[in-house]
Amino acid sequence: MSGRDPARSRRRRTAWATRTLIFAALIVVWEIASVRLGPLFLPQPLAVVFATVALSGNGTIELALRQSMTVFLTAFGISLGIGIPLGLVMGGVKAVGDAGDTFINLFNSMPRIALIPLMVAWFGLGVSAKIAIVVLLAFFPLVINTYNGVLSTDKDLLEAAPSFGASRVQLFTSVMLRAALSNIITGIRLGASVGILGVVVAELFTAISGLGGLIVNYGNTFQLNDYFVPVLVLSLIGASISGRPSRRGSRSSSGGSPPGNHPKDDSARGSPPGAAFYFGSTGSVVTSSSSMRPRSLPVTSFSPRT
C-alpha cells in the first residue's frame, strides 16, 4: 500500500496542476475576448469579480441562493422518496417492472419541458409549481437507474443466497439493494444535476425569483457584470454535484470483494483455487466452489443452513 502512495500523490498533483493551467488559460481567453468584443457583449473577469463581491455584500446572492436551494432540496427530496423505492419495487417484483417499464420509458422520452405550462396551470406561479417542475425532471433518472441496478444483480448470487438461509426480505435488502447501490448513486448524481437545471427553468417560467430570477433581470437590463455572477454560482453548484467520485468509492459501492476475498488470496488461506468466501452472521467462514462465485458482491449476512 505504501508503494502506491507516492504514485497516487504524483497523479493528484499532476491533476491539480493540469486543472490550474486549464483554468488560467480560460481566464486569459476570456480576458482577450472581452477586450476585443467590448464590455457591452462580454464583461472582463475582474469586473465579474467586483460584481460578485458587491452582490455578496448586499445579500442579493445569499437571498437568491436560499430561494433556489429551498425549491431544489424540497423537490429533490420528493424525487428521492418516490423514485428510489419505485425503482426497487420494479426491479424486485417482476410483474410491477414489466408493467411499469413501458410507461416510465414513455414519459422519460417525452420532452418534459413542454409540460411546464400544464404545471403552471395546475399549481400556479408560486413555489408549488417550481417544485413540481423540478420533480418532473429529477424523478426519472432516479427510478430508471435504480431499476436497472436491481436488474443487474448477479444471478449466481440470487441462486446462492437462498441456500445460505436467506429469506425473500434478506434477498432483497442484502443482495439486490447492495448490488443496485452503484446505480442508485449514479441516479442521484444525474437527478441532482437535472434538478439544478430544473430550478433555473422553473424560475424562468414562473414567478421571477432565486438565481434564475437574477439571470432574467440582469439579462433583460444588459447588466452583464452582474449577469455572470448567478451563472457562475450555478456552475459551481452543478460541478460540485456532478463531480467524479473517487475510484475507491466506486469500487466499494459497486460491491467489490473486500481484502482477503480476492482470488489470489485463496491459496494462502488454504481453500481450493477459485473458491469464494462467504462470511456468515455468526462470524464463521464458508467456502463455495467457483461455479457459485459472486462476480461483484460478497454475501455478508447469510448463515449457512444446518
- Domain coordinates in residue numbering, the chain: 51-253, 256-306
Q: Quote the pLDDT of residue 244.
A: 57
Residue that has been written with the C-alpha cell 437574477 in this structure: 214
The CA distance from 152 to 97, in Å, is 13
Q: What is the pLDDT of residues 138-160, one digit of tens each?
A: 999 999 998 888 888 777 777 77
pLDDT at 43 over 70: yes
Helix (H) or strand (E) holding 69: helix 60-92
CA gap 141, 146 in Å, rounded? 8
C-alpha cell belonging to residue 64 = 437568491
Can you tell me which residue has the cell 462465485? Answer: 293
Mean pLDDT of 190-196: 89
Please tell me the CATH code under which domain 51-253 is placed.
Answer: 1.10.3720.10
SS3 content of the chain, % helix, strand, coil (to 5): 75, 5, 25
Measured in degrees and rounded to the nearest 5, phi and psi for residue 288 equal -130, 165
Residue 117 C-alpha from the chain's centroid: 28
Contact by Cβ (8 Å): 276, 261? yes
Q: What is the 3-state secondary structure (H, E, C) of 5-39?
A: HHHHHHHHHHHHHHHHHHHHHHHHHHHHHHHHHCC
Residue 21 is which amino acid? L
Question: Is the separation of the CB atoms in 260 and 278 below 8 Å?
Answer: no
Closest CA to 238 of 230, 226, 250: 230
For every residue of 235-298, DSSP letters joined together read HHHHHHHSPPPPHHHHHHHTTPPPTT-SGGGTGGGTPPTT-EEEE-TTS-EEEE-GGG--SS--
Q: Among 104-108, 167-171, 193-197, which is the least confidently predicted range? A: 167-171
> How many angstroms separate the CA atoms of 230 and 64, rounded?
9
33, pLDDT greater than 60: yes
Cβ contacts of 131 within 8 Å, gap of 6 or more: 71, 74, 75, 78
pLDDT recorded at residue 102:
84
| Cell numbers given for 291 | 461455479
